[in-house]
Structure 1
């Protein structure tokens, strides 16, 4: 059985603890205001991980690094442009 959510990410990184960082660290690593959902990583210290179910979607919506704008992209284009590490982190088995 695949671990779900936090447990899957903790397993992926062989970590004992997983938590959220403070707002200043999030803003520094993401190069965007906290509260936005960025589809890309612009800092080598921030590894981008995407579940295979995400990149399989025909259309994904993200904040455009702002709280008042969004963008849409196909999962295939997202995977091709962002080059995320594809790992099962949702806990859902598609088998």
Structure 2
């Protein structure tokens, strides 16, 4: 993730990762899970265009022992993320 792109997107002075308690409260999921949806109006979901273009996306289901698969198009249709370029270049 390109944190400078996220900072510019929200016209913020600083962008960083939250502490575990804040992440758990906003996401309503245990830390270390990847929750692709927001259930709290204070939590915006932003997805890179390369993510929603994927034929298959794999997420854990807000648990550490369950996963789900969904197409990028279906994810965009269901989650309504703000689609913006936020991914950094691929590592070499």
TM-score norm. by structure 1 comes to 0.89
Greater RCO between the two (CA within 8 Å, min separation 6)? Answer: 1
Q: Paired residue for 1:20?
A: 17
SS in 1 for 2:68: strand
SS in 1 for 2:33: coil
Cα distance in 2 between the residues matched to 1:24 and 1:91: 27
Q: Paired residue for 1:8?
A: 5
Aligned residues: 89
Tell me how large the CA RMSD over aligned residues is. 1.1
Unpaired stretches in structure 2, ≥5 consecutive residues: none
Q: Deviations over 1:33-91 (max 9, x none)?
A: 00000110110000000011100000000010000111000000000000000111114
Unpaired stretches in structure 1, ≥5 consecutive residues: none
Q: Paired residue for 1:53?
A: 50
Cα distance in 2 between the residues matched to 1:47 and 1:72: 22
Give 4+ residue runs of structure 1 displaced > 6 Å after superposition. none
Change over 3 Å in CA distance of 1:22–1:91 after alignment to 2: closer
